[in-house]
């Protein structure tokens, strides 16, 4: 099989990010800073030839892809399996509201002591990884003969847990907005080359002089 290199990009800053609301399946618009981050990471990735682009169906991710790609003639294929973890009844709540209504549920989720735990109407980490891996494996199968670079726009927890699983990390890798993780795939093996790397975004910011 020809080597494939997958570039995972987290979306730009959103209004809910600023307000510190739980944002999974629910959505909020990119801030002005988030738009600049998207343009910056696009500039930082401009020298790389991408064979295809995939994105979560969430609007914040689609907008990030639009601003990052700019004038590049690349179509975006959406895949619901690349969406953020579904936080169920916690969606759009502030941290203090979550604590008031649900106690230490955030600690229970993110300690990962039980990756099968799910909040009401939400997903577990096991659920999340199952669908993320299925999407990635389908993308790999689709491009196995051509190889090259594939660009994927997604979300912090979705990307982070996939990287954690592939790299067998003991701690969760936090992805700042528009950071990039790079994973290559060859001969049935994943190799993580960059984890939550801000350098593409930061290089692009300098190029655009934000």
* Catalytic residue numbers, as ranges: 11, 84
Residue 190's Cβ-count burial label (10 Å; 0-12, 13-18, 19+) is: middle
- Find how far residue 166's CA is from the centre of its chain: 15
User: CA 133, CA 166: separation in Å to the nearest integer?
Assistant: 10
Cβ–Cβ under 8 Å, residues 58 and 78: no
Q: What is the 3-state secondary structure (H, E, C) of 152-209?
A: EEECHHHHHHHHHHHHCCCCCCCCCCCCEEEEEEECCEEEEEEEEECHHHHHHHHHHC
Task: Give Cα separations from 105 to 77, 87, 122, 188 (angstroms).
Answer: 35, 11, 12, 37
User: CA 196, CA 199: separation in Å to the nearest integer?
Assistant: 9
Cβ–Cβ under 8 Å, residues 190 and 183: yes
Q: Is residue 78 helix, strand or coil?
A: strand
């Amino acid at each position: 099989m020809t080597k494939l290199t997958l570039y995972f990009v987290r979306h730009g800053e959103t209004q809910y990010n600023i307000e510190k609301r739980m944002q999974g399946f629910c959505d909020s618009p990119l801030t002005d800073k988030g738009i600049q981050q998207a343009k910056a990471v696009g500039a930082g990735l401009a020298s790389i030839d991408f064979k295809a682009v995939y994105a979560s169906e969430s609007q914040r991710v689609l907008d990030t892809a639009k601003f990052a790609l700019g004038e590049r003639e690349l179509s975006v294929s959406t895949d619901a399996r690349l969406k953020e973890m579904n936080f169920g009844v916690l969606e759009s709540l502030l941290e203090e509201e979550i604590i008031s209504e649900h106690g230490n549920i955030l600690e229970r989720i993110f300690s990962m002591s039980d990756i099968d735990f799910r909040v009401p109407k939400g997903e577990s980490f096991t659920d999340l990884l199952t669908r993320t891996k299925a999407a990635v494996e389908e993308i790999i199968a689709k491009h196995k003969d051509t190889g090259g670079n594939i660009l994927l726009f997604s979300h912090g927890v979705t990307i982070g847990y996939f990287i954690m699983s592939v790299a067998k990390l003991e701690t969760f890798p936090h992805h700042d907005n528009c950071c990039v993780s790079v994973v290559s795939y060859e001969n049935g093996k994943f190799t993580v080359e960059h984890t939550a790397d801000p350098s593409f975004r930061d290089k692009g910011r300098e190029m655009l002089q934000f």
